[in-house]
Amino acid sequence: MKSRVLYYIRHGETDWNVAGRLQGSRDTPLNAVGRRQAAACAAILRELLARDGHAPGDFTHVASPLMRARQTAEIMRAALDLAPGDYRVDARLCEIGFGEWEGLTLREVRARSPQALAARERDKWDFVPPGGESYAQVAVRMRAWYAALEDDAVVVAHGGTARALIAVLGVAPPAKAPSIEIGQGIVYRFADGGMSRYG
């Protein structure tokens, strides 16, 4: 795969994030904090791009189709003086699916399915929640997405897809990637086999 420079932003906070609910494919909107985080990411991104001699419009902009990612992308683009809706959407960037666990907290999952949750904690990479998908499965679609990129890009997506990408790009091994914290209000720069964090 040809190496690309990616500026990767996890969507801003939602009320489900605050409650600790597994969102997955559920279409939850940003809350007020999440909207402020999106604007903050735009300011960080503008500074990073200027440092590297680029303008925001020099990059392809792409987002997950889920509402929280699209809202983040549109707030960022408006703050960067770009047309808010003029970006690509790619379904391969959707969050990891939690299946029957979506909408639940980990405490609720533990009460319902303690053995399944224990299995997940032993092997987060290959574990598949009932009706959901594993990080290994997400990595397949993230690898295909990355291989199809024709340009460097600004990406707005999710924590789970970031962790899968970390493994795909060799930043961390698959066994460790699912436990890496991916924060909100932060810009991650993927380049030359490494990942830097700003914010």
Q: Is the residue at 141 inside a domain?
A: no
1 pLDDT higher than 90: no
Is 1 inside a domain boundary? no
Out of 11, 61, 74, 158, the active site residue is: 11
Residue 109 in any domain: the answer is yes
Give a yes or no: residue 158 inside a domain. yes
How much of the chain exceeds pLDDT 70, in percent? 99
For 83-109, how does the pLDDT look when each residue is reduced to its tens digit (9 = 90+)? 999 999 999 999 999 999 999 999 999
Could you confirm whether 121 is annotated as catalytic?
Answer: no
Question: Which domain range does residue 68 map to?
Answer: 7-132+146-198
How many domains is the chain partitioned into structurally? 1
User: Is residue 58 in a domain?
Assistant: yes
Residue 18: give its domain's CATH number: 3.40.50.1240
In a domain, 2, yes or no: no
Task: Establish whether 150 is a catalytic residue.
Answer: no
**Does the residue 139 lie in any domain?**
no
pTM reported for the whole predicted model: 0.96
Closest CA to 3 of 167, 166, 149, 158: 149
Q: What is the mean pLDDT of residues 35-58?
A: 96
What are the phi and psi torsion angles at 3 (to 5°)?
-75, 135
Catalytic entry in 13, 74, 95, 133: 95
